Structure 1
Amino acid sequence: MSYTNRYGQPQGFAKLDTNKLREILIAEIIAINGYAEHIANSNMEDINAAWNSIMGDEKKHYGMMLTLLRKYDPNQYKSYKEHIADKSGPKSPMQVFTPNYNKQVILNNIREDIKGEFEAVILYEQMLAIIPYPDVRYAIYSIINEEKGHAEHLTQLLLKYDSDKYNGLV
């Protein structure tokens, strides 16, 4: 069962600080999956390069938050230690995917990603206001600034390819 509804938003309200970190992890996984899907369905090199760069940041954010969760949740850390060897061994090949390129879908994906970046900022600023741990607060603050940068980067790509005007945005 998923903690999020079909739009990616949490179904409940996390009360424990460790669950607040999990909300951030959920948001980062949703972002990673979204960017990976958008890259798979685009043949536009500059947009894919931007998405790939942003996805790398989202993976970094996931790693930062999971490391902090392991620090503050002893059971999470115990589970990590139990499963650390799971990543070793031969890798099976990825499935074959046939992309469906469409300029309008790509523009919609950019707008959806901008929305997701702003949603992340809102969620993370709420967390920043209530989580007491200085190391967590520092990590969240740095992630917030990167998410704001992602929104601006994506907005510039949108303005480059969308023939509609956005009230004089430059």
Structure 2
Amino acid sequence: MSRKAKEPAAIGRVEKDFLAAIERLVAGKPMNRDLAKRAKDGKLKINKATVAAEAGRSRVTLDRYENIVAQIETLGTEPITSADHVIARLREENAKLKQQRQAATDAMAAMLLRMRAMERSTDQEVRKALRRAARPQPNRIVGATGHVVAFPDGEDDAG
């Protein structure tokens, strides 16, 4: 008598929900608000209750899927985001903020230098305009007459 080999059971929608919930919890990116807050605080644990809450199903429904319960137990109850992970994340964020602050400080210093250069340039142009306005004949250029002035005789310093 030949027996038919059992075909693996097709994964149902509920089981897919639980598997997707486990993946999100392992990644530390739950969609459930309470679980997301716990993940941010570094207190998220993967257990039957959190998987059921993330999947939007009851814990009783989860108990019907022994393979998923076994998978949850292998993941353990250790927080996914330990204090070391939180500290590392905060250090990265701190370094990023320091870089942003330094970039902003550099930009402000460059802007200040440009402003001072413009002030000097403007002051020079104002003084130049005032000198031109103070001339008796503004269109006449000094030294453009072509006359050479001779030194008086006998007062030569060379001799």
Please confirm whether the aligned pair reaches a TM-score higher than 0.5, indicating the same fold.
no
- Structure with more relative contact order (C-alpha pairs < 8 Å, separation 6 or more): 1
- TM-score bracket for this pair, using the shorter chain length: under 0.3
